[in-house]
């Protein structure tokens, strides 16, 4: 997470969200982006949520990646209280496989945007990459790293499948 002031906040509703949200954090670490990681629950720690959201802009956060599952109100409630862009990650829930999380996060009323990503690992990974892309608009070193990462990903795709079995 480093000593410099965090540029990106990663928050999640519960410890149980960590295995998913770790994929966003891994991307931020890979790109050397200063970040912070906290548990902030819309339902269990509402005062913590208010304090976090209301201080986000003045603390210099440029994006907030918020992951939650089930009745996933965290990203929307944070977005209601800050102009800092909120990237919502629907965590795969046990009961409804994350469809509940997705619908809770994506169906925001007009005027309170949350950028919503895919359910689970892919969504968390892409939220990390999206935050990197946002920051890269004003950071040429980071832009170069992102271009290199994307080129390596492209080069890693084999032209033909390995025929197994």
Binding-site residues, please? 14, 17, 44
Element (H, E) at 150: helix 140-155
45 binds ligand RP5 (CB under 6 A): no
Q: Is residue 77 packed enough to be buried (19+ CB in 10 Å), middle (13-18) or exposed (0-12)?
A: buried
Q: In whole angstroms, what is the distance from residue 96 CA to residue 87 CA?
A: 21
User: Binding-site residue total for ligand RP5 (CB under 6 A)?
Assistant: 10
* Binding annotation for substrate: 14, 17, 44
**Closest approach of Cβ 4 to ligand RP5, in Å?**
28
Q: Is the Cβ of residue 86 or residue 142 nearer to ligand RP5 in the bound state?
A: 86
Nearest residue to 40 (alpha-carbon basis) of 52, 57, 55: 52
**Closest approach of Cβ 129 to ligand RP5, in Å?**
21
11 binds ligand RP5 (CB under 6 A): no
Spatial strand order in the sheet of 115-116:
35-39, 8-12, 63-69, 86-91, 115-116
Q: Is residue 64 packed enough to be buried (19+ CB in 10 Å), middle (13-18) or exposed (0-12)?
A: buried
Q: Is the Cβ of residue 76 or residue 136 nearer to ligand RP5 in the bound state?
A: 76
State which of residues 18, 22, 34, 41 lies at the interface with ligand RP5 (CB under 6 A). Answer: 41
Which one-letter DSSP state was computed for residue 133?
Answer: H
x/- site string to ligand RP5, residues 53 to 92, per CB under 6 A?
---------------xxx--------------------x-
Binding site for ligand RP5 (CB under 6 A): 13-14, 16-17, 41, 43, 68-70, 91
């Amino acid at each position: 997470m480093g000593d410099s002031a965090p540029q990106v906040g990663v928050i999640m509703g519960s410890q149980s969200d960590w295995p998913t949200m770790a994929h966003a954090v891994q991307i931020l670490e890979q790109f050397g982006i200063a970040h912070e990681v906290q548990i902030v629950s819309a339902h269990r720690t509402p005062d913590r949520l208010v304090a976090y959201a209301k201080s986000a802009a003045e603390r210099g956060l440029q994006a907030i990646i918020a992951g939650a599952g089930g009745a996933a109100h965290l990203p929307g409630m944070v977005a209601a209280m800050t102009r800092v862009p909120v990237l919502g990650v629907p965590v795969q829930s046990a009961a409804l496989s994350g469809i509940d999380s997705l619908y809770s996060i994506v169906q925001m009323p007009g005027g309170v945007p949350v950028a919503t990503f895919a359910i689970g690992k892919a969504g968390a990974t892409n939220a990390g990459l999206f935050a990197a892309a946002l920051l890269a608009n004003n950071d040429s070193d980071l832009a170069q790293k992102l271009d290199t990462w994307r080129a390596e990903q492209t080069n890693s795709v084999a032209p033909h499948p390995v025929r197994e079995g």
